[in-house]
Amino acid sequence: VVPNTRIVLVLTAVALLATGVEAQDFTWAERSYRNAVARYFELPEEEIAILGHWELPTEEIAVVLFMARRSGISPEALVA
């Protein structure tokens, strides 16, 4: 498996796990997911948390960041 594919698979698995946990554990799972996304995209966790405040499902943050990086435009422009 190509390294990028492996990261996408891990992020997808974390997102799927986050949807199946109880409410009190969701915060931990969501935090872990955001931490993984921040590490992969080499961004501060605070920036990922800000992106999480948009009207965007948490599991789509990685998709927006990936598309922004590949297209050379800001994540804000993609979501707007």
Mean pLDDT in residue range 14-34: 66
Radius of gyration of the chain (CA): 12
Residue 50, CA distances (Å) to 22, 56, 64, 68, 79 in order: 23, 11, 13, 16, 13
Q: Does the pTM exceed 0.85?
A: no
Mean pLDDT in residue range 23-44: 81
Give the closest residue to 33 by CA, choosing from 53, 50, 16, 54.
16
Which pLDDT does position 59 carry in this prediction?
A: 84
Q: Check whether 77 has a pLDDT greater than 50.
A: yes
**What SS3 state is found at 72?**
coil
Q: How much of the chain exceeds pLDDT 70, in percent?
A: 78
Which pLDDT does position 24 carry in this prediction?
A: 46
Which pLDDT does position 3 carry in this prediction?
A: 60
